[in-house]
């Protein structure tokens, strides 16, 4: 399901929720708020972005799904994107990319503060 379809689904759920409330006086038939939370989480989770869809807006390192045309082989690696092009070997084609995750930062417990 795409994000657009999911958002449309939420609109339908909200309409059904209002209808159910008007007919039966029951508001908890369908929980649209939980659906919204799921959609928000999906939007925040990284996903593979095909290079045919768009390229990164900023220079940097990205996870990349790479196709090696010499070996007819596909794999994942970290690739550098700089000045609007992928800095990789000539016989390599970047098919899709996603941002690298943020590095781990331990959280201080109340006892450590």
**21 pLDDT tier (thresholds 50, 70, 90):** low
Dump pLDDT digits (tens) for 56-76: 999 999 999 999 888 889 999
Q: Which pLDDT score, from 0 to 100, does residue 29 have?
A: 46
Q: Is the pTM of this model over 0.85?
A: no
Mean pLDDT across 26-47:
64
Q: Which pLDDT score, from 0 to 100, does residue 42 have?
A: 63
Q: What is the three-state SS of the chain?
A: CCHHHHHHHHHHHHHHHHHHHHHHCCCCCCCHHHHHHHHHHHHHCCCCEECCCCCCCCCEEEEEEEEECCCCEEEEEEEEEECCEEECCCCEEEEEEEECCCCCCCCCCCCCC
Residues 6 or more apart in contact with residue 10 via CB below 8 angstroms: 32, 35, 36, 39
Structure tokens at 7: 């958002």
């Amino acid at each position: 399901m795409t994000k657009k379809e999911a958002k449309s689904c939420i609109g339908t759920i909200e309409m059904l929720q209002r209808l159910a409330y008007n007919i039966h006086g029951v508001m908890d038939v369908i929980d649209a708020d939980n659906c919204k939370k799921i959609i928000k989480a999906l939007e925040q989770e990284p996903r593979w972005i095909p290079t045919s869809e768009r390229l990164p807006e900023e220079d940097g390192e990205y996870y990349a799904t790479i196709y090696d045309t010499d070996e007819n082989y596909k794999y994942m690696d970290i690739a550098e994107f700089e000045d609007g092009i992928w800095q990789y070997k000539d016989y390599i084609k970047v098919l899709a990319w996603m941002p690298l995750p943020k590095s781990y930062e331990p959280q201080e417990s109340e006892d450590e503060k």
